[in-house]
Structure 1
Amino acid sequence: MVGGLQYLTLSRPDISFAINQLCQFMHNPRTSHLQVVKRIFRYIKGTLEQGLIFHKSNDFTLRSFSDADWAGSVVDRRSTKMDWKP
């Protein structure tokens, strides 16, 4: 189960930290670790619409989207909306 969850982290980075922590105990798993696995499965079931989607394409252009500009406001160093066009 944990191996499958590790594979799922490729498209679901929101669970990466929890899976990483869980994997550290796989040499000696306990009942509490199984409970964590079940909780993660319930979370995934409730958030099926989230995650990264990979499409097959012959276009090798890298595109990314972000909602922050790394504290771009000179006045208070908070993130602001930034419009950028190549």
Structure 2
Amino acid sequence: MHRPREPHWCVVKRVLRYLKGIIDYGLSYTPSSISLNAFCDSDWAGSPDNRKSKSGYGVFLGQNLISWSAKKQNMVFRSSKKVEYRSMALAADELYWL
């Protein structure tokens, strides 16, 4: 940017304050076997407002979490089996990608 203005400097200061606050955070790695494992779970019609389900998964390389997701599904399912299947499909897609 050739001419930063006041809003730009405010954003830069905000980013620097954020970085200063998380300087002690980090990820740890525990040496272990090289095996890829995934776990998934879902909550059928868990939201009382719109009856949408929540699903999530975690992928581990040995003992170390390397990928995860948790979100509300974008459609309403009529059975818990379909919700579980969708959760497994999302985890399988992530495993295939990895």
Higher relative contact order (CA 8 A, sep 6+): 2
What TM-score comes out, normalization by structure 2 length?
Answer: 0.31
Mark the structure with the bigger radius of gyration: 2
Identify, as 1 or 2, the structure richer in strand: 2
Identify, as 1 or 2, the structure richer in helix: 1
